């Protein structure tokens, strides 16, 4: 059995790491050389150091860019622009996957797209996290309202002067779809969000949302 066949037989997901490959190849004399050969033949493709996906010929199902976002740098949760786009809150199609992390901010350019990570404190990072499915994979993503708060918090260009400032920013600058946003408004969640962030910029956001949509 060829090395790639053995790897494919033992690793069920399309996304996998160096440790998993080395475990499959533990009986080979030079497993690192085997990995390099597989990379050259594109039987496997490197996403970043220590992280791979199967090449086209060996792929059983499409790989998940969202799961890769969680794996490339962590701990991380997909948030901000990418979630706003995917949920239909903003009209633009966002190709770079944006995430938040407790680590330092980073950017990665990979064969499978670009990924950005913005730093948040641990208490802000861990709130509003949801588990989503992409094919056979599961990944962590922020609730759309939390993603909006992350976007606003991380946007240093937006300097609000009062809750009223958010109307122009949300509906003119970001072009948020008010009808879709309304579906995500839950007063309990908004109040928890304000408490987690404990910052005027997000307090004003939540105050505006409650008043604008009469959250119940």
**∠ CA 74-129-146, rounded to 5°:** 110
Cα separation, 58 vs 124, in Å, equals 40
Nearest to residue 202, comparing CAs of 120, 102, 106, 131? 120
User: What pLDDT, on the 0 to 100 scale, is given for residue 22?
Assistant: 97
| Relative orientation angle of helices 31-40 and 3-10, to the nearest 10 degrees | 90
Confidence grade of residue 216 (pLDDT, cut at 50, 70, 90): very low
CB distance 69 to 97 below 8 Å: yes
| C-beta neighbour count of 189 within 10 angstroms | 17
Nearest to residue 140, comparing CAs of 151, 149, 123, 128? 128
Domain boundaries, the chain: 3-58, 66-213
pLDDT beyond 90 at 136: no
Give the mean model confidence (pLDDT) for residues 122-144: 93
Give the mean model confidence (pLDDT) for residues 134-155: 94
Confidence grade of residue 147 (pLDDT, cut at 50, 70, 90): very high
User: What pLDDT, on the 0 to 100 scale, is given for residue 215?
Assistant: 52
Q: What is the CA radius of gyration of the chain?
A: 21
Model confidence over 182-191: pLDDT tens digits? 999 999 999 9
Cα separation, 21 vs 16, in Å, equals 8
CB distance 148 to 87 below 8 Å: no
CB distance 148 to 154 below 8 Å: no
Reported as type and span, the H/E element at residue 100 is strand 97-101
pTM, two decimal places? 0.93
Model confidence over 162-172: pLDDT tens digits? 999 999 999 99
Mean residue pLDDT of the chain comes to: 96
């Amino acid at each position: 059995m060829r090395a790639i066949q053995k790897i494919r037989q033992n690793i069920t997901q399309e996304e996998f790491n160096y440790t998993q490959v080395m475990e499959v190849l533990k009986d080979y004399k030079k497993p690192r050389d085997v990995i390099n050969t597989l990379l050259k033949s594109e039987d496997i493709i490197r996403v970043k150091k220590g992280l791979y996906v199967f090449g086209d010929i060996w792929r059983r199902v499409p790989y998940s860019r969202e799961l890769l976002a969680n794996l490339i740098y962590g701990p991380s949760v997909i948030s901000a622009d990418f979630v706003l786009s995917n949920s239909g809150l903003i009209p633009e199609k966002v190709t770079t996957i944006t995430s938040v992390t407790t680590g330092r901010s980073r950017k990665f350019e990979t064969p499978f797209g670009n990924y950005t990570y913005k730093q948040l404190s641990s208490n802000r990072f861990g709130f509003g996290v949801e588990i989503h499915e992409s094919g056979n994979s599961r990944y962590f993503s922020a609730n759309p309202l939390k993603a909006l708060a992350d976007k606003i918090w991380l946007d240093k260009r937006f300097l609000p002067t009062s809750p009223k400032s958010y109307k122009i920013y949300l509906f003119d600058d970001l072009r948020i779809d008010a009808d879709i946003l309304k579906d995500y408004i839950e007063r309990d969640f908004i109040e928890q969000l304000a408490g987690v962030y404990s910052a005027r910029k997000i307090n004003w956001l939540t105050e505006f949302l409650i008043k604008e949509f009469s959250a119940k």
